[in-house]
Amino acid sequence: MVISLRKALPDKDTKVYKLLEMIGIFGEFPTDLLSRLNVGKGYKEKMVMSLKRQGLIRTHYEDGRRGLRLTTTGKRFLLAENPVRFSFYLSGYSDTNKVRCEPHRRDRLYRVAE
């Protein structure tokens, strides 16, 4: 499955891949923090839309907070690309891999992302 996706996915040295990594590490990336990325507004929107179109991320909105989360496909892609780096964050019982529906857990992930 990852092999067929690889043609459309970004290279490791691109800003799109860096955003995907940040979402994977933090568990949920607040959309408010997209303004801190060192790219133009239009390019940020294209980055997010590209990752959504490829099925790697999705937007989660709850309790007045909007964040970007990895899909199962996104998790598999990052684990296949760099298992040493992402196995801690994306497998097992790590906090970034648990259900994040409680407001206190989402607040903590947002603070870490900041």
Determine the pLDDT at residue 3: 42
Mean pLDDT confidence for 17-23? 90
Stated pTM of the model: 0.76
Taking a C-beta distance cutoff of 8 angstroms, is the pair 100, 27 a contact? yes
Q: Hey, what are 80's tokens?
A: 């296949």
Mean pLDDT confidence for 32-41? 86
Determine the pLDDT at residue 37: 84
Determine the pLDDT at residue 58: 93
Other CB atoms within a 10 A radius of the CB of residue 27 amount to 24
Mean pLDDT confidence for 6-26? 80
Given a cut of 90, whether residue 5 has pLDDT beyond it is no
Q: How confident is the model at residue 6 (pLDDT cuts 50, 70, 90)?
A: very low
Determine the pLDDT at residue 101: 62
Mean pLDDT confidence for 16-44? 88
